[in-house]
């Protein structure tokens, strides 16, 4: 009897996903005094050290909702975009199960770049000019007369690899052919956008929304290209740091006024009660912030720098968002330090890579000033192996960005796996300017 009463009061959280972002979410939720048990589906080797991993893929919405119902999960938190785009929030709502994440219709902000652009146009949210094309011939005809550089974007989901900056007609034609004729990104390339290139500092702004209130996290900066100096192909993200000092209070106020508030208001006007993360990928231009893209979930690896700095209880924030009580959370509380994440990837990523490669040197002692978040790992203890393109994200926290990076790189240098690839210049866009020590 006593056991039953205790079970009734238990707060159980299910995190959906298998990457570094999900490891960071689980790591932070684990610190909540309100949470008694955390499951992660399917999780990875690092997550299994701090939560119970469940062998259900993130795309198996039926099995996830069955699991949440059977185990009386208090809150399910969805990491990746795919299940959101496929309607996991709608299915959980149908079954009266609590879930943090937007509906399928709302997730179109990320799952269709064209939907997002048209939404921004309807609601006067600043974004670079663009044109939409449904055939390669029309698109190629257009780029012959347009100004360079420009950005070619696949309409659908492409794991961060669907946008290409091109500087001449040949490169633009090749990008269009790869997306629309060779179908390298599958159905994501049914339609494309051609967008004007805008220059400036790029910043990721993630905010939690409950349909009425929007609560921004600290700004962070991702490093999308595979190689140093922002060269090479786009990846899911090779590193990040937070906060970004170039986002002044004045700029943040503008982002709230011209981007975040109008986004939430626009969604509401279109009948969408958005509960989840609104992630605006912004370019700060001389003409003000411009939205390059929306995502409908936490960023990866941005989450790996936000969670170690967040002092507020993440569970309370996410729960408040699912019950329209975000206004009562007030301001978020942060460590007044810097966090920097260096992603270690498999040789060949974002192209083809091997898995099952042995990993050594991952510290076993927990350290809140240097956390190793697992992205693509399997096995356990001294049998840790690679299982994905991005393998680990090492986040250092310290008084300055340079010191935070020094912590990350010291740990990275002790971790070994054959072909391990990582950028040695995370933070370079601000460090070369400020000489931050
Ligand atoms: N780091 C970029 C993203 O999460 O989409």
Say if residue 437's pLDDT is above 60.
no
Residue 191 maps to which CATH number? Answer: 3.30.1490.20
The overall average pLDDT reported for the chain is 95
Cα(204) to centroid of ligand 1, in Å?
8
Say if residue 436's pLDDT is above 50.
no
* Closest CA to ligand 1's atom 5: 299
422 and 314 housed in the same domain? yes
Residues 373-394: what's their mean pLDDT?
93
Cα(236) to centroid of ligand 1, in Å?
6
User: Structurally, how many domains does the chain consist of?
Assistant: 3
| Index of the ligand 1 atom closest to the CA of residue 222 | 1
**Ligand 1 pocket by Cβ (under 6 Å):** 160, 222, 237, 295, 299-300, 302
* Closest CA to ligand 1's atom 3: 299
The confidence score (pLDDT) of residue 325 equals 97
353 and 421 housed in the same domain? yes
| Index of the ligand 1 atom closest to the CA of residue 160 | 5
Asked if residue 269 is part of any domain, the answer here is yes
307 and 265 housed in the same domain? yes
Say if residue 326's pLDDT is above 60.
yes
Cα(71) to centroid of ligand 1, in Å?
31
| Index of the ligand 1 atom closest to the CA of residue 240 | 1
> pLDDT of 104-120, one tens digit each?
999 999 999 999 999 99
Residues 13-36: what's their mean pLDDT?
98
The confidence score (pLDDT) of residue 1 equals 43
User: If pLDDT is split at 50, 70 and 90, which confidence band does 162 have?
Assistant: confident
The burial class, CB within 10 Å (0-12 / 13-18 / 19+), for 427 is buried
Say if residue 219's pLDDT is above 80.
yes
> pLDDT of 118-134, one tens digit each?
999 999 999 999 999 99
Q: Which of 302, 306, 342, 375 to mutate to test the pocket of ligand 1 (most atoms within 8 A of CB)?
A: 302
The confidence score (pLDDT) of residue 388 equals 96
Asked if residue 22 is part of any domain, the answer here is yes
> pLDDT of 48-73, one tens digit each?
999 999 999 999 999 999 999 999 99
Q: Which of 80, 153, 157, 160 to mutate to test the pocket of ligand 1 (most atoms within 8 A of CB)?
A: 160
Say if residue 40's pLDDT is above 80.
yes
Residue 92 maps to which CATH number? Answer: 3.40.50.20
The confidence score (pLDDT) of residue 349 equals 96
Cα(159) to centroid of ligand 1, in Å?
8
User: If pLDDT is split at 50, 70 and 90, which confidence band does 434 have?
Assistant: low
Candidates 262, 291, 251, 376; CA nearest to 116 is 291
Candidates 13, 35, 43, 26; CA nearest to 298 is 26
Say if residue 7's pLDDT is above 70.
no
Residues 191-197: what's their mean pLDDT?
96
User: If pLDDT is split at 50, 70 and 90, which confidence band does 222 have?
Assistant: very high
Asked if residue 310 is part of any domain, the answer here is yes
214 and 181 housed in the same domain? no
Cα(226) to centroid of ligand 1, in Å?
13
Range of the domain at 31: 11-103
Type and span of the H or E element at 285: strand 275-285
287 and 376 housed in the same domain? yes
Please say which residue of 196, 225, 246 terminates a domain.
196
User: If pLDDT is split at 50, 70 and 90, which confidence band does 161 have?
Assistant: confident
With a pLDDT cut of 70, the percent of the chain lying above it is 97
Say if residue 166's pLDDT is above 90.
yes
Give the phi and the psi of residue 175 in degrees, each rounded to 5.
-65, -45
47 and 170 housed in the same domain? no
Cα(53) to centroid of ligand 1, in Å?
24
Say if residue 22's pLDDT is above 90.
yes
Asked if residue 187 is part of any domain, the answer here is yes
178 and 219 housed in the same domain? no
User: If pLDDT is split at 50, 70 and 90, which confidence band does 8 have?
Assistant: low
Instruction: Render 97-130 in DSSP notation, one character per residue.
Output: --EES--TTTTHHHH-HHHHHHHHHHTT-----E
Is the distance from CB of 377 to CB of 327 less than 8 angstroms? Answer: no
The confidence score (pLDDT) of residue 3 equals 47
Say if residue 410's pLDDT is above 90.
yes
136-143 and 169-176 are packed helices; what angle lies between their axes, rounded to 10 degrees?
170
| Index of the ligand 1 atom closest to the CA of residue 299 | 4
* Closest CA to ligand 1's atom 4: 299
Which position has the higher pLDDT, 16 or 366? 16
Cα(6) to centroid of ligand 1, in Å?
39
> pLDDT of 80-104, one tens digit each?
999 999 999 999 999 999 999 999 9
Candidates 165, 183, 176; CA nearest to 141 is 176
| Index of the ligand 1 atom closest to the CA of residue 298 | 4
Say if residue 4's pLDDT is above 50.
no
The confidence score (pLDDT) of residue 382 equals 72
Asked if residue 114 is part of any domain, the answer here is no
295 and 220 housed in the same domain? yes
294 and 314 housed in the same domain? yes
171 and 214 housed in the same domain? no
């Amino acid at each position: 009897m006593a056991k039953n009463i205790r079970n009734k009061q238990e707060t159980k959280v299910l995190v959906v996903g298998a990457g570094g972002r999900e490891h960071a979410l689980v790591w932070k939720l684990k610190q909540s005094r309100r949470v008694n048990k955390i499951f992660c589906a399917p999780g990875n080797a690092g997550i299994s050290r701090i939560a119970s991993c469940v062998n259900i893929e993130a795309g198996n919405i039926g099995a996830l909702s069955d699991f949440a119902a059977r185990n009386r999960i208090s809150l399910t938190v969805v990491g990746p975009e795919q299940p959101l785009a496929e309607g996991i929030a709608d299915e959980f709502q149908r079954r009266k199960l609590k879930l943090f994440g937007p509906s399928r219709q709302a997730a179109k902000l990320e799952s269709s770049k064209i939907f997002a652009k048209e939404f921004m146009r309807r609601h006067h949210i600043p974004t670079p000019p663009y044109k939409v094309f449904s055939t390669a011939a029309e698109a190629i005809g257009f780029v012959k007369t347009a100004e360079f550089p420009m950005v070619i974007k696949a309409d659908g989901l492409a794991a961060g690899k669907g946008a290409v900056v091109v500087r001449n007609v040949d490169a633009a034609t090749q990008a269009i052919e790869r997306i629309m004729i060779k179908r390298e990104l599958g159905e994501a390339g049914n339609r494309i956008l051609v967008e004007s290139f805008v220059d400036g500092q790029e910043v990721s702004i993630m905010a939690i929304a409950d349909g009425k209130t929007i609560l921004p996290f600290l700004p962070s900066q991702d490093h999308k290209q595979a190689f140093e100096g922002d060269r090479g192909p786009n990846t899911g993200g090779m590193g990040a740091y937070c906060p970004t000092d170039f986002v002044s209070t004045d700029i943040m106020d503008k982002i709230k006024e011209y981007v975040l508030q109008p986004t939430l208001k626009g969604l509401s006007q279109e009948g969408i009660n958005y509960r989840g993360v609104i992630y605006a990928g912004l370019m700060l231009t001389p003409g003000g912030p411009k939205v390059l893209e929306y995502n409908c979930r936490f960023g990866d690896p941005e989450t790996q720098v936000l969670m170690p700095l967040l002092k507020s209880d993440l569970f309370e924030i996410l729960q408040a968002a699912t019950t329209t009580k975000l206004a009562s959370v007030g301001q978020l509380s942060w460590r007044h330090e810097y966090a920097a994440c260096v992603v270690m990837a498999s040789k060949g990523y974002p192209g083809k890579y091997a898995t099952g490669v042995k990993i050594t040197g991952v510290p076993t002692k927990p350290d809140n000033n240097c956390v190793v978040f697992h992205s693509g790992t399997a096995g356990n203890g001294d049998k840790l192996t690679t299982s994905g393109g991005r393998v680990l994200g090492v986040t250092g926290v310290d008084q300055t960005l340079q010191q935070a990076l020094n912590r990350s790189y010291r740990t990275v240098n002790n971790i070994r796996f054959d072909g391990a690839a990582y950028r040695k210049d995370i933070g370079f866009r601000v460090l070369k300017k400020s000489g931050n020590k």
